[in-house]
Structure 1
Amino acid sequence: MRLSNDQLAAAMVVAAAPLPALEMADEVFLAQILRMMDGLPRRADDSVGGKLRHRAYELVIGRYPRQALEFLATEALHGCKFYPSTSECVEILKRWRRDDDAVRSKLAASTAVRHEQQARFDDAMTRLAAGEVSQAEIDAMPERWKSVGETRAYLWRHEDGSYTARIRPEEML
């Protein structure tokens, strides 16, 4: 399905827009995640050691969004034999990829923009090859398209940087 100019412009806005920030984990949520992973064997803590351990994890993984920490807990419970160290947690978190509606919308818009731009480029090259493009259309083409048209021998590039069609409708007869 081809996009109209308005649809393409709207898709380009969505594709270029920054993603909304995810909800960050607060101390309570982080504590819940750490308690979930307490099912894994680890060295016992005394009261001071437990507070220090919690603070160390808070410093290292407390800056991640809630969804990332949920991923961490799930992966740790499925794949770790022991309670993961802070560096192991960071390695697990490196595998997390954001996959919410905003990311999917941005990806869909980016894909639609790429496909439409490629289709328009292909149409322009087909029309150039057939000699069906006016000088005004050539002048309005992006520079990259004109350069490709020249490389494919559809256009001549002049010393002043302008381009004209090599193939003209009257030459096709």
Structure 2
Amino acid sequence: MSIPTILSARRNAVALLSLAAVLLATAGADAGTCPTDKVLTMPRKIEEAPDVGIKRETLSIVNLTGWRGVGDLRLRTRRLTVAVGGIVPTHQHDDRPSIVYVVKGEIIEHSAFCSVPILHREGDWTPEFGKGHAHWWENKTNQPVVLTSSDVVPPDMLDDPDM
């Protein structure tokens, strides 16, 4: 497969996951989102938060290679358990579409596109993708928080614990 074909296939996979996230976002409630009057049109610089107290478990990986012209990409679902006082470190989603679901507990997100922290509660989900989309999460409660995260990644990112 040629480089332009691989790049085109990768854009197609990213576009599909992005479309799914947008469709889900328009169907859900405003819970777990940035208040309308606090949404930023340009990303702000956010703190570089460290990785603290996160247990990451890969639940499943689907090889998307060749599906509808997709290049060498994987659809991965993981369970993240965020300890009391735990921090999901600052990371970006410029080129890694993801959807996070809060299975148990509540957690605070600090987003480059929101001027205030965002509270996510059990049952909330959030799409993560786009130019400048950077954020970090923290558990300020007295109980562990459980999240599931599904993302599209190239195979070399599968072994990176921070991704």
Bigger strand fraction: 2
Structure with greater contact order relative to length (CA < 8 Å, sep ≥ 6): 2
TM-score of the aligned structures, taking structure 1 as reference length: 0.21
Larger Rg: 1
Please identify which structure carries the higher helix content: 1
